[in-house]
Amino acid sequence: MTLSRGSKLSAYLIAGGSVALATVVSLYWPILYHMHMLAAFLIAVVFTAFYGGLFPSLLAIAFSALSFDYFIAPPAGWGISDPADRARLASFVVVAVFVSFLHWQRVKAENKHRSMVQRLSVALEATKFGVWDLDLRSGVVWHSPGMEEIVGRGPEQFATNYEAFRDYIHPDDREFVHHTITRCVENGDECQIQHRIQLPSGETRWVGTRARVFHDENHRPERLVAVTFDNTNRATDTSLPSLDALAASRIAATA
Instruction: State residue 98's pLDDT score.
Output: 93
| pLDDT tens profile 166-182 | 999 999 999 999 999 99
Give the CATH number of domain 128-253. 3.30.450.20
Interatomic CA distance for residues 210 and 190, integer angstroms: 7
* Rounded mean pLDDT, 101-109: 87
Is the preceding omega at residue 56 within 30 degrees of 0, hence cis?
no
**Which of 35-39, 50-54, 152-156, 225-229 has the least mean pLDDT?**
35-39
CB contact burial 108-145 (16+ within 10 A = b; e otherwise):
eeeeeeeebeeebeeebeeeebbbbbbebeeebbbbbe
What Rg do the C-alpha atoms of the chain give, in angstroms?
28
CB contact burial 60-91 (16+ within 10 A = b; e otherwise):
bbebbbebbbeebbeeeeeebeeeebeebbee
User: How far is Cα of residue 114 from the mean position of the Cα atoms in its chain?
Assistant: 8
Q: What is the DSSP letter of 219?
A: S
Residue 242 predicted with pLDDT over 60: no
Interatomic CA distance for residues 16 and 51, integer angstroms: 13
- pLDDT band of residue 233 (cuts 50, 70, 90) is confident
- pLDDT band of residue 254 (cuts 50, 70, 90) is very low
Interatomic CA distance for residues 104 and 221, integer angstroms: 33
* Whether the Cβ atoms of residue 206 and residue 176 lie closer than 8 Å to each other: no
* Cα separation values, 185 from 174, 175, 178, 181, 211, Å: 17, 15, 11, 6, 10
**Which of 19-28, 29-38, 60-69 has the least mean pLDDT?**
29-38
User: How far is Cα of residue 83 from the mean position of the Cα atoms in its chain?
Assistant: 43
Q: Where are the domains of the chain?
A: 8-115, 128-253
